[in-house]
Amino acid sequence: MMGGRIWLESEPDVGTTVYFTARLNKQQEEPEAADSTTPLSVAAVDQAVARLRGAKVLLVEDNEINQELVLELLLSKGIEVETANDGRRALDLLEQERFDGVLMDCQMPVMDGYETTRHLRAQEKFKDLPILAMTANAMKGDREKVLSAGMNDHIAKPIKPDVMFSRMEKWIRPRAERVT
Ligand code: MN
């Protein structure tokens, strides 16, 4: 329909690369500004970080470099972190431990972020668990897609620490501070 081609190259035990070509029209309207260009004041970010201190977060990310980067950022601000490399592992960890929120990559092997979120939202005990997607290309459709899968919000990759902390602070609180 878009005058392109789609194909994939697959190797057993290694993985699959999907390629496609498409002819697209240039975007007419302004791209979404929220993630990348809105400046955040230092005070606002400091406050967000202070509010997150002591929270326990599950970081679900298959890319080692991204995982390391986000892990370091979170630990440096006194946020407790556990990591999972795919959605299946995340579901296991969430069964075993209580978390104050989840940072969820979308493209992952075994079980992706969308499916993982749908599994969680189908369970009463995880209905209110804050889940924030992390995806590359903060295009308009991406945000809708993560929201419709049941995630609360969206953080664009490459991760900008200030944006990440202020997004997290909108949804995640350390358990001790929560009204029960
Ligand atoms: Mn990924």
SS3 of 34-84: CCCCCCCCHHHHHHHHHHHCCCEEEEECCCHHHHHHHHHHHHHCCCEEEEE
Owner of token pair 């308009």? 140
Predicted pLDDT at 139: 66
Predicted pLDDT at 25: 77
Q: Rounded to the nearest whole angstrom, what is the distance from the C-alpha of residue 43 to the centroid of ligand 1? A: 32
The neighbour count for residue 112, using CB atoms within 10 Å, is 18
Q: Rounded to the nearest whole angstrom, what is the distance from the C-alpha of residue 92 to the centroid of ligand 1? A: 18
Query: Using CA atoms, how far apart are residues 165 and 48, in angstroms rounded to an integer?
Result: 6
Question: Which residues contact residue 48 at a Cβ distance below 8 angstroms, ignoring those fewer than 6 apart?
Answer: 165, 166, 168, 169
Predicted pLDDT at 33: 47
Q: Rounded to the nearest whole angstrom, what is the distance from the C-alpha of residue 123 to the centroid of ligand 1? A: 24
Q: Rounded to the nearest whole angstrom, what is the distance from the C-alpha of residue 166 to the centroid of ligand 1? A: 22
Q: Rounded to the nearest whole angstrom, what is the distance from the C-alpha of residue 113 to the centroid of ligand 1? A: 9
Q: How far is CA 71 from the centre of its chain?
A: 13
Q: What angle do CA 151, 172, 93 make, to 5 degrees?
A: 70
Q: Rounded to the nearest whole angstrom, what is the distance from the C-alpha of residue 105 to the centroid of ligand 1? A: 6
Predicted pLDDT at 29: 56
pTM for this entry: 0.76
pLDDT lower than 70: segments of the chain: 27-38, 137-139, 176-180
Query: Using CA atoms, how far apart are residues 127 and 139, in angstroms rounded to an integer?
Result: 26
